[in-house]
Amino acid sequence: EVQLVESGGGLVQPGGSLRLSCAASGFTFSTYWMSWVRQAPGKGLEWVANIKQDGSEKYYVDSVKGRFTISRDNAKNSLYLQMSSLRAEDTALYYCARDRALYCGGGTCYFSFDYWGQGTLVTVSS
């Protein structure tokens, strides 16, 4: 059974830092792209970042570029999100999601988030 379990959320002051973790099990972690997706309280979903299987490619939404860093440790089946210079608008439930690629051809694939964790809440407030 595929499981994704996030941890590391909490209350942090504006300008502070936090590191989120996602422990993966039930699948071959090293063969999948992985993403972080967040949801502000009462709001919709926002993709934050993703990382290729070997960590060689990383992409971010503009609002977190230069402040957040996505990484992974395939030996530990773990995904991370290092967040710094946190702002009130970063307050959200952060989900770890498996980024599945299907029907790959011509250098492109159909990606979808096929498994999600339960989320970890990050609150940025003084």
Partner 1 sequence: DIQMTQSPSSLSASVGDRVTITCRASQSISRYLNWYQQKPGKAPKLLIYAASSLQSGVPSRFSGSGSGTDFTLTINSLQPEDFATYYCQQSYSTPRTFGQGTKLEIK
Residue ranges binding partner 1 (CB under 8 A): 35, 37, 44-47, 50, 59-62, 95, 102-103, 110-114, 116-119
Q: How far is the CB of 126 from partner 1 (least distance, A)?
A: 27
* 64-73: Cβ within 8 A, 24+ apart: 64/90, 70/36, 72/29, 72/34
Nearer to partner 1, 112 or 125 (CB): 112
Nearer to partner 1, 13 or 118 (CB): 118
Residue 26 and residue 1 in contact, taking contact as beta carbons nearer than 8 Å:
yes
Q: How far is the CB of 75 from partner 1 (least distance, A)?
A: 26
